[in-house]
Amino acid sequence: MVREWDPRTASAAEIGSFLDTLNAVLAADLPEDPPWQDTALREYLCEVMPGERRLSWVAQVDPDTDGRPGRIVGHIHVLLLGDIGVIDLMVHPEVRRRGLARRLLATAAHRVYQEGFSSLGVEVPGGTPAMGFYTRLGFTREFVETRSVLRLSSVDWAAVADMADEVSPGYRLEFCPGGPPEGLLEAYARAKAEARDEEEGGDLDLRPSSYDPLRLRDSIDCLHRRGMKPYIVLAHHERTGQVAALTEVVVPAQHPTRADQYDTIVGRDHRGYGIDRAIKARMLLELRSVEPKLAEVQTWNAEANEQMRRVNAELGFAPDREWCEYGVELGELAHRLGAPG
């Protein structure tokens, strides 16, 4: 049975069944990734930025004879983000190759198409069955990054401490747990907007980003509501007061042993002074103190970003696998899939 699903009102048993399937998928497809926990899982599935929506469907086996709902064996959600729908689809390994993924995708695609959206995007880890699934349905690979993972047990902490100190005079580093201070929101957003304007394109913008102070505040608030703790290290240019650089790491309550590296940005006028390596090294030192259970940090970089890839290698990050963005025109996909059964 495929039905629309609202995690806000779902029972605790359904949330638990969703988690069981998610961890079964991770064990089969990404065995090096840590299993997820149920801490703030409902919030993670529900909370969105202002102006965004999530639509979800689940596939369940038949109910038990005692009337209890059947377990969730498949799930798809669509984040309606600007002019694109971003999907996340999973099917339990025990019930794959029975057309369930196609049925879930058809259900979501037709609904999103009816709502006036013209395209779908999806992030696909390299080396997983999802790559062939989306390619066969006409999705095109638009952008590729490499995911790298740093295992904190292997870090040379003395060397990292030296790196954190290797920043040119005139810059001051500041650690900001929870997000940037209110008084720095405008300067922080300006630094992110500058980096966006320099981008040459290529990726599909499948992740929400914030480039103005109000939107940035909403973004930080949303992270907290979803159970995701943001940590930021800023580099201040002391003469001008500018935010010269920033790096962001988020520790999710759902997998607290592995943190996610978000943006690392150095303003164009402040490059070549060792700031990128210094702020990332400082972040690792701070995380070691405030997140004692943290074991790993993962990050994503495009092949063209040679400087950041070099900095990550110096810090000890090791390439893990490709991470691909696929896109498709919705009308063509809906036609190819046919009416959901």
Looking at residue 53, its pLDDT comes to: 94
pLDDT of the residue at 205: 55
pLDDT value of position 183: 84
pLDDT at 330: 94
Check residue 219 and give left, alpha or beta (phi > 0: left; psi -120 to 50: alpha). Answer: alpha
- Helices 275-290 and 157-165: crossing angle in degrees, nearest 10, is 130
H or E segment and range at residue 223? helix 213-225
Amino acid at 128: T
Give 10-residue mean pLDDT values along the chain (341 residues). 96 97 98 98 96 95 64 96 92 96 96 94 96 96 96 97 93 94 83 68 54 84 96 94 92 98 91 93 98 96 91 96 96 90 70
Residues 6+ apart with CB under 8 A from 113: 330, 331, 334
Asked if CATH classification 3.40.630.30 holds for the domain at 156-315, the reply, yes or no, is yes
Confirm whether 2-144+325-337 and 156-315 share one CATH topology: yes
Using alpha carbons, select from 205, 210, 206, 204 the residue that is nearest to residue 223: 210
Task: Give the C-alpha separation, 196 to 206, whole Å.
Answer: 14
Q: What is the reported pTM?
A: 0.92
Token pair 């790096």: residue:
247
The DSSP call for residue 45 is H
Q: Per-domain residue ranges for the chain?
A: 2-144+325-337, 156-315
DSSP character string of 53-83: EEEEEEEEPPPPTTSPPPPEEEEEEEEEETT
CA-CA distances (angstroms) from residue 155 to 254, 264, 285, 319? Answer: 24, 20, 10, 15
pLDDT, position 67: 52
Give CA torsion, residues 286, 292, 296, 302, to 10 deg.
Answer: -20
Per the document, the length of the chain is 341
Which among 165, 184, 199 has a CA at the least distance from the CA of 268? 199
pLDDT of residue 103: 96
Task: Specify the CATH architecture of the domain 2-144+325-337.
Answer: 3-Layer(aba) Sandwich (3.40)
DSSP lists the bridge partners of residue 124 as 324
